[in-house]
């Protein structure tokens, strides 16, 4: 029988009456991801999604790699199905995993019998298959406590399945079960990680980027689009809303006290993002803010910028240290792009001595010389929507 994948569900199994909705969304997401790799049958039973290639044309290796980036899957394995009898199970193990056993110094068999009609208990099945394998592979010792290799046998409703150690999945919840949110995406390390972390909670992610040409280059814009493409490996397709921000920054520079430049700029960003979020059906904003990392990310400063909007603001990195954030950036593949030396608009007109403990009243007074509504309206007219997909050609 042909090789198939078993995708084990994570915290979905803890859900109550809405568990079926979560499972249905996960199956839908898996089917969507598999389409580009050929014909696959995708179905679920017993908290597991089965992914079965339907013909020889299916790109099994490509599909296997794609399954690692599907939220809602806690672990996954490639396995060989077989009939539910001891002889068939042993032959499947020997044919499918025999070479791995020959390369291992020790092994054990771990069985799980979900089909209670099967005549042997899990322990009895492990002993029977383990004894036969020990005879067939005398150089591979039996070690039930610390084996170098573990053979897994699962006796389920439709068949028995044999496989080696499972690999970790993306975890989290299936994309689409948690609503939609808009991430303020810069060219730095933090915001792509923030987008990934909220997407992991089942949220569909869209993005907004503020572009200040000629102070920032086309390469800086391309860098952000590429970061969005990399994040979309996990989140699925997303739209990057590119907002022309030059006139707002120049107006702040010309009319506001220097120490408040960054705070006022961020308040504009938040309000513009909230309006675009409303257009795109997003119920929250996502930022990469990290408490104390820079002057605009003190508790007081974040309170002032957050006061510019009326929808929730998710800050998944707020309590992390930089090494934790960098570790996730490397894991999801955004780190190398984030550190490319193309600066974004946050570096334009940076004050020498920024205000770190502002009050809302101080900032409102500092920005009163600006025609906020006119500037925001002009920025919203400039929005360029760029659709990104992980399978597009890299931008950089």
- In order of start, what are the domains of the chain with their CATH numbers? 4-168 (3.30.2130.30), 180-388 (3.40.50.620)
Tokens 């949220």 locate to: 203
Q: What is the pLDDT of residue 206?
A: 98
Using only the alpha carbons of the chain, give its radius of gyration: 26
pLDDT at position 1 is 60
Q: Is the pLDDT of residue 8 over 70?
A: yes
Cα 214 from Cα 310, distance rounded (Å): 32
Model confidence pLDDT, tens digit, residues 47-98: 999 999 999 999 999 999 999 999 999 999 999 999 999 999 999 999 999 9
Continuous segment of H or E residues that includes residue 143: none
pLDDT band at 267 (very low <50, low <70, confident <90, very high): very high
pLDDT score of 385:
97
Given this model, what pLDDT does residue 255 score? 96
The answer to whether residues 40 and 32 touch, using CB atoms and an 8 Å cutoff, is no
Helix axes 261-279, 299-306, angle to 10 degrees: 40
Residue 123 CB neighbours (<10 A): 10
Higher pLDDT, 169 or 345: 169
Q: Residue 25: which H helix or E strand, with range?
A: helix 19-34
What is the spatial distance between Cα 273 and Cα 268, in angstroms, rounded to a whole number? Answer: 8
- Calculate the alpha carbon distances from 98 to 146, 151, 162, 329, 395 in Å: 19, 10, 12, 37, 44
Confidence at residue 295, expressed as pLDDT on a 0 to 100 scale: 77
Per-residue pLDDT reduced to its tens digit, 283-323: 999 999 999 888 788 999 999 999 999 999 999 999 999 99
E strands within 10-94?
Answer: 40-45, 48-53, 73-82
What is the per-residue burial (b if ≥16 Cβ within 10 Å, else e) of 130-168? bebbeeebeebeeeeeebebbbbbbbbeebbbbbbebee
Could you report the per-residue pLDDT of 14-49, keeping only the tens digit for each?
888 889 999 999 999 999 999 999 999 999 998 999
Q: Tell me which residue has tokens 């002889």.
A: 87
Distance, in Å, from the CA atom of 123 to the CA atom of 91, rounded to the nearest integer, reads 19
pLDDT above 90: percentage of residues in the chain: 90
pLDDT of residue 396: 84
Assigned token pair, 228: 């969005």
Q: Is pTM beyond 0.85 here?
A: yes
Residue 353 has pLDDT above 90, yes or no: no
């Amino acid at each position: 029988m042909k090789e198939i994948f078993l995708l084990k569900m994570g915290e979905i199994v803890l859900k109550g009456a809405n568990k079926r909705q979560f499972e249905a969304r996960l199956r839908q997401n898996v089917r969507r991801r598999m389409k580009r790799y050929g014909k696959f049958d995708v179905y679920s039973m017993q908290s597991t999604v089965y992914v079965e290639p339907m013909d020889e044309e299916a790109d099994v290796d490509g599909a296997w790699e794609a399954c690692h980036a599907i939220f809602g899957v806690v672990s996954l394995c490639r396995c060989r199905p077989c009939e539910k009898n001891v002889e068939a199970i042993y032959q499947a193990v020997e044919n499918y995993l025999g070479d791995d056993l020959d390369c291992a110094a020790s092994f054990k068999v771990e069985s799980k019998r979900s089909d209670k009609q099967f005549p042997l208990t899990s322990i009895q099945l492990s002993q029977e298959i383990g004894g036969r394998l020990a005879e067939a592979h005398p150089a591979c010792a039996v070690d039930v406590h610390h084996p170098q290799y573990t053979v897994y046998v699962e006796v389920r409703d439709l068949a028995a399945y044999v496989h080696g150690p499972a690999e970790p999945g993306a975890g989290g919840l299936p994309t689409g079960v948690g609503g939609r949110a808009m991430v303020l995406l810069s060219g730095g390390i933090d915001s792509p990680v923030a987008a990934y972390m909220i997407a992991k909670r089942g949220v569909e992610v869209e993005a907004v980027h503020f572009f200040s040409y000629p102070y920032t280059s086309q390469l800086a814009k391309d860098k952000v689009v590429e970061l969005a493409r990399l994040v979309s490996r996990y989140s699925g397709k997303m739209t990057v809303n590119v907002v022309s921000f030059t006139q707002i920054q120049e107006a702040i520079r010309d009319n506001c006290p220097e120490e408040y430049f960054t705070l006022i700029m961020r308040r504009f960003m938040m309000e513009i993002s909230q309006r675009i979020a409303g257009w795109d059906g997003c119920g929250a904003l996502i930022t990469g803010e990290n408490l104390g990392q820079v002057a605009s990310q003190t508790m007081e400063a974040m309170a002032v910028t957050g006061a510019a909007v009326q929808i929730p603001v998710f800050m998944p990195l707020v309590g992390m240290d930089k090494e934790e954030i960098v570790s996730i950036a490397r894991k999801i593949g955004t780190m190398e792009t984030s550190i490319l030396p193309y600066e974004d608009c946050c570096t334009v007109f940076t004050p020498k001595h920024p205000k770190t403990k502002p009050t809302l009243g101080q900032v409102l007074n500092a920005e009163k010389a600006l025609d906020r509504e006119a500037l925001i309206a002009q920025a919203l007219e400039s929005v360029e929507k760029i659709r990104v997909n992980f399978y597009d050609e890299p931008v950089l």
